[in-house]
Amino acid sequence: MIIEPNRRRRTRVFRAFAGAVAIVMVAAMVASGLTLPAFSLTADATPTAGPTPTAAASESAIPSAVVPSPSPTAVPIPTADAHGCFPPAADAVPATVISHGSRTEKWVALTFDDGTNPINVHRILSILYKAKVNATFFPTGRSVQLFPDIWKGVAGAHYPIANHTYSHQSLKGLCYQLQLAELLHDESVLDGFGLTMLPVMRPPYEEFDEATRFATTAAGESHVVLWDVDTMDWTGLSDSVIARHALAGRAGSIVLMHTSPLNTARALPTIISRYRARGFTFVTVGQMLGVEGAVPFP
């Protein structure tokens, strides 16, 4: 209890006055022959016992033990490189790199990259659809952005469209975050047009590195899809040479072509008829790898 200064002075005066009165009373008692009860000021004097506290009071007087919370496990913070890029998570799983499918299945996957020539995309699509041939398209996000109607037509015919980056730049040597940004940008373009992407990717120029594999997985895609048959159609070859290159495939082959060259469209009927004559079945990349996606002719 806090006592104010004036109250403290009054308390000292009262105590002095009370002490003087007590001395006078004791002297009067002695003079009258009265005796005082004996009392002791020793340290072992036993105080008058007070009431025994109840169990509830005793328990409440003891504070409850406080159990300390366990310290959280320290998580290492990734360190940025010289370009300000961070590596993938420590528990990240890289995507599988493939250049062909099972060699025990007599099937072949025709694939078409880029999508920069919408008229030729339409030609190729018409030939494939009329011949009931499964195939897979790898347009860039920029191509889809420029020609959305043609790619809506491809998707409307139930042909799978897979990731070929947004800008078609080489991924090799780019940091993980920049590679992931390219893949996600492509996905966002397709999503913006209501197109569903087959969850695999193909790196432009066949150039990729370990960061590409981690970026592919982070983008929700399972495989980095290469090829084992390159038609070299983009170099200006004749349709007959393109067909000859394409027909070099065997069981499980993935054939690389492009949508821009007119001669690619011209070579297609020969490629289709001769593979069928050899007993091959045309499949999508998704069918070949067991990845769920669109299939025009199941």
Taking residues 114-125, report their average pLDDT: 97
Report pLDDT for 86.
86
In the predicted structure, residue 242 carries a pLDDT above the cut 70: yes
Taking residues 258-270, report their average pLDDT: 99
Report pLDDT for 38.
40
Of the listed ranges 8-12, 90-94, 254-258, the one predicted with least confidence: 8-12
In the predicted structure, residue 23 carries a pLDDT above the cut 90: no
Strands 107-114, 281-282: pairing kind: parallel
Report pLDDT for 22.
39
Handedness of CA 56, 58, 61, 63 (dihedral sign): negative
Q: Domain limits of the chain? A: 96-289
Q: Are 106 and 281 in contact (CB under 8 A)?
A: yes
Which has the closest alpha carbon to 209: 234, 173, 243, 181?
173
Report pLDDT for 254.
99
In the predicted structure, residue 17 carries a pLDDT above the cut 70: no
Report pLDDT for 65.
54
In the predicted structure, residue 94 carries a pLDDT above the cut 90: yes
Average per-residue pLDDT for the chain: 83
In the predicted structure, residue 53 carries a pLDDT above the cut 80: no
For residue range 163-179, what is the model confidence (pLDDT) as tens digits? 999 999 999 999 999 99
In the predicted structure, residue 24 carries a pLDDT above the cut 50: no
Taking residues 60-80, report their average pLDDT: 55
Q: Are 114 and 203 in contact (CB under 8 A)?
A: no
For the 96-289 domain, the top CATH level (class) is alpha beta
In the predicted structure, residue 78 carries a pLDDT above the cut 60: no
Distances (CA, A) of 70 to 41, 66, 67, 73, 77: 53, 12, 9, 9, 20
